[in-house]
Amino acid sequence: MPPTAAVRLEAAGCVTAFGNAEATHAALLRGERALALAPVLGSDGGESVPLALAGGRSLDETAPPNWLPVLQALRATIPADDWGAANRPVFVTSSNFGVGSLYAFRRHGDPAHLPFGTPAGCVEWLARELGWGRNVTTVSHACVSAHLGLMLASRAIEAGLAERALVFTFDFISPFVTGGFHALKILNAGFPAPYADRPTGSIGLGDGAGFAVLGDRRGDFAIVAQSVHNEMHHFTANRADGAGFAACLEPLRTAAAGRRLWLKGHGTGTIEAGRLESAALAAAFPGAPLVSWKGSLGHTLGSCGLVELAVAAAALRSGRAPGTVGGVAPCFVPQVALEPFAINDCDAVLCASNAFGGAHGAFLLSHA
């Protein structure tokens, strides 16, 4: 199957609990952890779990959602263009969209929450607020959503259907999603330690939003290869032989040949997925240092692919990659980097994400 052609990254940015991409990169280099223990259901209480909220907002949903100002501030950093016009498509990606509003409606009965609750309603509202036209495609594939947005935008440019494309992603946590991961028992009182070989796993959840402007001419970075794979083995588990991870990475090995790489893995802090992912990455790219940043930022869900792309781009610009904040030895594979390291001699970074259903997404980001 022919790969998606290389595309230029004209601009990228993100918001996390630390702030923008540069602030996030700097905080990660300092080894700071944005996650803090907070009640899993917000004002409804429950066990305290690691959460990282952006912009000082509350976990409890408001109407309109209290994360709109965060997105408006991010919108102000996107290069100006006629976004949403016929040849300037917008690809919006998320896992949760405004579904926290449905929780708020169910909990409090206030119908003011409802218009933000469905993906279509939420994105239409957001497009109006952010000043986009009507050419907006919405992708929803849980935590690989942003990867799919990048792939669709790249293909639209390659096919001549767009001159530039905006991929925009957001996921703001709410009791809807914290309650769900808590019910699955992987969100608990423990802080995540990605790739650590320990008896019990745990994740943290964080707010995230990001954007990427793709084109075929400008920009100092290029997305040189992209890959996706869907195991369809189990909703919340991967094939025990790691074949799903390997299948997603295989097409990228060719594109990475001859390059000096570092690896930004998914690394949420769960045990089996961390073991399988790190083993697959180590096998496919021997010796390349591997990091995850979700031990600090939390898992930003459907936005993680783009949020971490923006941080990785900041790292490439600075020549220094943050280590695996929250990670502890022993790790599943020796190439897990717990401390920051120099990347001046690296050509590219491979960024990978995973999702429910054994979904995998990965891309190779390099200097253009």
Partner 1 sequence: MPERYVHAIRLEDPGSEEPAATRERLKDGFPRGATRRMTQLGLLVGTTLDGLAPRTDDAVVYASSYAESRALEGYLESFPTASPTLFQTSIHPSAVQQSLIGRQHPVGEFFPLTGRGHLVAQALQTAMLARAPRVLVCGGEERGTWLLERGYASARTFAFAMALGAAAEGAVARVALERSGEPARELSLEQFFDRLRARATIDQMAAPGVRLTLTWL
Q: Which residues bind partner 1 (CB under 8 A)?
A: 1-4, 41, 44, 46, 84-87, 95, 99, 102-103, 106-107, 111, 114, 117-121, 123-124, 133-142, 148, 152, 155-156, 159, 161, 175-176, 179-185, 228-236, 244, 247, 356-359
Beta strands 341-342 and 205-206 are unpaired
In Å, how far are 108, 113, 351 from 100, measured between CA atoms? 12, 9, 28
Nearer to partner 1, 33 or 113 (CB): 113
Query: Smallest Cα–Cα separation from 166: which of 133, 141, 195?
Result: 133
Nearer to partner 1, 111 or 258 (CB): 111
Nearer to partner 1, 136 or 309 (CB): 136
Distance CA 223, CA 30 (A): 27
Do residues 302 and 169 make contact, with C-beta atoms less than 8 angstroms apart?
yes
SS3 assignment, position 350: strand
Nearer to partner 1, 92 or 314 (CB): 92
Least Å from the CB of residue 155 to partner 1:
4
Least Å from the CB of residue 39 to partner 1:
11
Q: Is 154 exposed, middle or buried (0-12, 13-18, 19+ CB in 10 A)?
A: buried
Least Å from the CB of residue 234 to partner 1:
6
Least Å from the CB of residue 305 to partner 1:
14
SS3 assignment, position 74: helix
Query: Smallest Cα–Cα separation from 46: which of 60, 25, 26?
Result: 60
Least Å from the CB of residue 173 to partner 1:
14
Nearer to partner 1, 239 or 320 (CB): 239
Least Å from the CB of residue 238 to partner 1:
11
Distance CA 325, CA 28 (A): 7
Nearer to partner 1, 153 or 365 (CB): 153
